[in-house]
Amino acid sequence: MPDVSVLNVQLYSDTIGTLTHVGGDRTIFAFTESYIENDQRPTLSLSFKDAFGGLITDIPATQRRVAPFFANLLPEGTLRDYLAERAGVHVEREFFLLWVLGRDLSGAVTVVPADGEAWPPKTDSAPAKSVEKDRANALRFSLAGVQLKFSAVKNTGKNGGLAIPAQGVGGEWIVKLPSTRFEGVPENEYSMMALARAVGIDVPETQLIDVEAINGLPEGIGTLSGQAFAIRRFDRTADGPVHIEDFAQVFGVFPERKYKQASLRNIATVLGIESGDESVAEFIRRVVFSVLIGNADMHLKNWSVIYPDRRTPLIAPAYDFVSTIPYLEDDSFALKFARTRKFAGFTLDELSYLADKAGLPSRPTLAVAQETVERFLVEWEGEKNHLPLARAAVETIDRHLEALPLVRDI
């Protein structure tokens, strides 16, 4: 393997920086001079913004890993293991994983080899033909996360459905396959997203689709049946990609710290400073909604900002709303609100405290919360028996709502 390898980091197809892998398994990220000198440069990440609004250019080298912004673009857990094996790279060598998967990342970022080599040198002794097939298979999983999901396109055939592109690029939908551990997760997510839309939250187009109607699923993922959840990608438009980043990237933390490194108060502070009143109100709606449905998994990577004008961050459309309490007995939110993680601790007083500490006006914040609770209760009572949601899940959410101080307060 060469002592030095270089990947070009592109934003909206323009090279704005390089990732350089050097001896000792170190990776160095640096912005290009043209990007640094451009006063109207598009924003790559708020994590590269200093206290005075300038660009941070002195970025420490990383060992075996890449900088947190880029690490958060990669899959996690067993999905990473699966892809690394098929790509012929070591699971912890993130530079080479980016080399393999960097052509269809979230947002408007692409990472491509500077010398044009499509693949890094393989690290095992498998036959070249086998490695080539596995690598093509690996490209179909290019999106971050731990769930089996793909970037897909609408199937124009007579049977409708979705199709997984052969090389994993260019998809306008994200498809999440059924869980092998928990029953009815796609139906759950579809139901929660429908409820969110009904209470006024910004939700992309979603649909349930039979697994059998998905063409081109990669080999080696096992036999799956039932329904998959599909959501239209809000970082892809007819005019090209739109840049996004999640709050693990914003705060510059590695994915494994997504439950521990920050609080909702910290997110609210950033939105209040960078994004304005509409994004803050939308954030409050989503916090309240997540408490009401019992979603204990709204970690840093499930909150994102989007850059419609390429420079100014706004809260991105909602995703990953799942009622987790039917599957796991958990009375705590993924992140601390301000002083507590407990669902029962999310009272109007806790919300008022969060607003005060985040520099948000308390009265409008509480008004948004009250409206959200009232709208949710009306929609839930009217739709809970008509959603594709298991009866046991409905009953669990009902018991959860009855016990919530937030509901009683309002």
Catalytic residues, by residue number, are: 297
| Helix pair 264-274, 348-357: axis angle to 10 deg | 50
CB atoms near residue 213 (< 10 Å) = 15
Nearest alpha carbon to residue 107 among 5, 250, 271, 267: 250
Q: Residue 138, by phi and psi: left (phi above 0), alpha (psi -120 to 50) or beta? A: alpha
Closest CA to 72 of 31, 101, 43: 101
| The residue type at 144 | A
CA separation (Å) from 312 to 46, 104, 275, 315, 335? 10, 23, 7, 10, 25
For 32-47, letters b (16+ CB in 10 Å) and e give: eeebeeeeebbbbbbb
The CA distance from 183 to 188, in Å, is 9
Calpha distance 323→296 (Å, rounded): 8
Cβ neighbors of 327 (< 8 A, separation 6 or more) are 182, 185
